[in-house]
Structure 1
Amino acid sequence: MTVAREMVDYLREHDLRLTTAESCTAGLIVTILAEIPGSGSLIESGYVVYSPEAKQRLLGVSPRTIDTFNLTSCEVAEEMALGALHDADANVAVATTGILGPDDMDGIPAGTVCFAWAFEVHGRRALFSRRERFFGSRNQVQLCAAEHALLQLRHFHQRALVGESR
């Protein structure tokens, strides 16, 4: 079973509706899910936001957060996820921001991706974030990051259900 099929089944089983805020994965998370027939009812929206201005304007990411932590940071990913969740008719948001490569940027190694998962569970929000590094070509890193975001959604959703956050 593919990552996408497993995630579509999980989203359906848990009555989850997804929105994404993608920078380095450029909409690939939504694309992977959309390949599965019937997934459209589980995807609310997908933002592709590369520039700092788009992150600020569309998702409400604070310029101060970007200046303080850099675009490739868990803090920015968290604000992206919360911004997408706030604006959408969804109960789960996944965000990615990072550097695909091939070159390092601003002292951050190529292949570094920051993720955030935000959930609306039992009338409250739960937020989780992680920083990972992947190796390979740009396309390989992008695919690995998109699949990682989906694979970890289940883990963090289960933690959110028991009241955990971060």
Structure 2
Amino acid sequence: MRSEILMLAQARGVMIATAESCTAGMVAAALTDLAGSSAVFERGFVTYSNAAKIEMLGVWPTTLDAVGAVSEDVAREMAQGALNRSQAQLAISLTGIAGPGGSERKPEGRVCFGIASADRVDSETVEFGPLGRDAVRAAARDHALTMLCTTLRGMPTT
């Protein structure tokens, strides 16, 4: 799938940016592991703390206060912020509870995703469950890659 993402992005003239919290750069690493990725990967933001989300991506402190970092609202703001602060045309974001731990309100394995392009920002939440930290992070990385691929398939070629 990673090579398909690179091929699709190149065919569409799209550069990609990532904004990652719980995966701490795993999506960026998965994309840049492939030769030729510099043609389509613009940059990655690792914003593990709330302060980093605010400073690097422009996430609103009021959003963080109101709904917390693990929310679709924050995921959307992260994706939009990555798009605004890069030369990319497509940005993906992830924020979640990899574990161990979590709470009844925000359980381990919950990851919120955002994806932004020039004309839209979408988000979704996936409950991976308490799979353990490594498995949740890997599942979140893979889901983000799937979202990128699906979005790119729907974009016109240049």
Q: What is the TM-score normalised by the length of structure 2?
A: 0.91
Deviation of 1:54 after TM superposition, in Å, equals 0.7
Contact 2:8–2:153 (Cα < 8 Å) also in 1: no
Q: Is the 8 A contact 1:99 1:105 kept in 2?
A: no
The yes-or-no answer on 1:132 pairing with 2:142 is no
Helix, strand or coil at the partner of 2:77 = helix
Specify the alignment match of 1:77 in structure 2: 75
1:128·1:156 contact (CA, 8 Å) conserved in 2? no
Percent of pairs identical after alignment? 36
- Matched-pair contact (CA < 8 Å) for 2:19–2:47: yes
Match of 1:89 among 87, 90, 112: 87
The one-letter code sitting in structure 2 at the alignment partner of 1:127 is: V
C-alpha displacement of 1:157? 4.3
Indicate if the aligned counterparts of 1:126 and 1:160 stay in contact, CA closer than 8 A: no
SS of corresponding position for 2:69: coil
Partner of 1:164: none
Structure 1 gaps, min length 5: 162-166
Cα distance in 2, alignment partners of residues 160 and 117 from structure 1:
13
Counterparts of residues 1-166 of structure 1 (less than 5 Å):
3-105=1-103, 107-120=105-118, 125-135=119-129, 136-157=131-152
- Residue 155 of structure 1: CA displacement? 2.6
Which has the higher relative contact order, 1 or 2, with Cα contacts under 8 A spaced 6 or more apart? 2
Query: Displacement of 1:119 after TM fit?
Result: 0.6
Aligned length: 155
TM-score, normalised by the number of residues in structure 1:
0.87
Deviation at 1:139, TM superposition (A): 1.1
Q: Is the alpha carbon distance of 1:153 and 1:75 closer, same or farther for their aligned partners in structure 2, counting shifts above 3 Å?
A: same
CA RMSD of aligned residues (A): 1.6
In 1, Cα distance between equivalents of 2:15 and 2:66: 32
Q: What is the distance in 1 between the residues matched to 2:42 and 2:4?
A: 18
Runs of 4+ residues over 2 Å off in structure 1: 154-161
